[in-house]
Amino acid sequence: MSKDLSNYRKSYEKQELLENNCPENPMELFQTWFLNADSSDTVEETNAMTFSTIGKDGFPKSRIVLLKKYTWEGFIFYTNYNSEKGKAIEGNKNICVSFFWPALEQQIIIKGQAEKLSEKLSDAYFESRPDGSKLGAWASEQSKVVKSREELDENLKTFEKKFEGEEILRPKHWGGYLIKPISIEFWQGRPNRMHDRIRYSLHKDFSWKLERLSP
């Protein structure tokens, strides 16, 4: 099997990213870009981010995770702590996430460290979820090998019966992480592959250094 993709090309010409339009804090620029993407009819699931970890086997692994909140401090998402993702974070807190909005010819690449949220914050978010999603958090032993789809469905039915007529509380193995960024790069496509790349790096005094990178 073979297919030559060398002629797959697109000219990026929609926008530019210049230093004089960049605020001192990258979270301000992140919010500007995010809200613009979220209001665009051409972008679906604006909060979908590629989440990369280094596993205990030494290999990097990337998957799509949904961003649930961002603050001045960083980026918040939720998962099963016993999943492959959770175990990778337990062994190595250094992670990378990226957003790619091709319709806007933009991507954002974030390096940082992930740390667990407090149980109180995880409880509050879990309470806001639909009952089906709550039950799914109980029924799925995320990343564990299962024999069949039927086994998953039976697990769900078991917890539906268990919690019938009762409040569905958050399982202790499920909760949130806060990603504290140390580097945020904004990438804007430009013609002739001369893309704009602006990187913010965090200093020890919590100020940010802004640099332009060659494309």
The DSSP-derived string for 162-200 is HTTTS--PPPTTEEEEEEEEEEEEEEE--GGG--EEEEE
Tell me, which fold does domain 19-129+175-213 have in CATH?
A: Pnp Oxidase; Chain A (2.30.110)
124 phi/psi in degrees, rounded to 5: -65, -40
Domain residue extents for the chain: 19-129+175-213
170, 193, 197, 212: the active-site residue:
193
Q: Largest Cα–Cα distance in the chain?
A: 61
Q: Give the number of C-alpha atoms closer than 13 A to the C-alpha of residue 188, restricted to the C-beta side.
A: 16
Rg of the chain over all Cα atoms, to the nearest angstrom: 20
pLDDT at 65: 97
pLDDT at 29: 98
pLDDT at 106: 98
CA 83 to CA 111: how far, in whole Å?
Answer: 21
pTM for the model stands at: 0.93
195: closest CA among 18, 60, 61, 41? 18
212 is a catalytic site residue: no
Q: Which residues of the chain have pLDDT under 70?
A: none
pLDDT at 53: 98
pLDDT at 179: 98
pLDDT at 135: 94
CA 81 to CA 171: how far, in whole Å?
Answer: 10
pLDDT at 42: 95
Instruction: Give me the helices (H) in the chain, please.
Output: 26-38, 84-91, 119-128, 131-139, 149-162
CA 187 to CA 59: how far, in whole Å?
Answer: 26
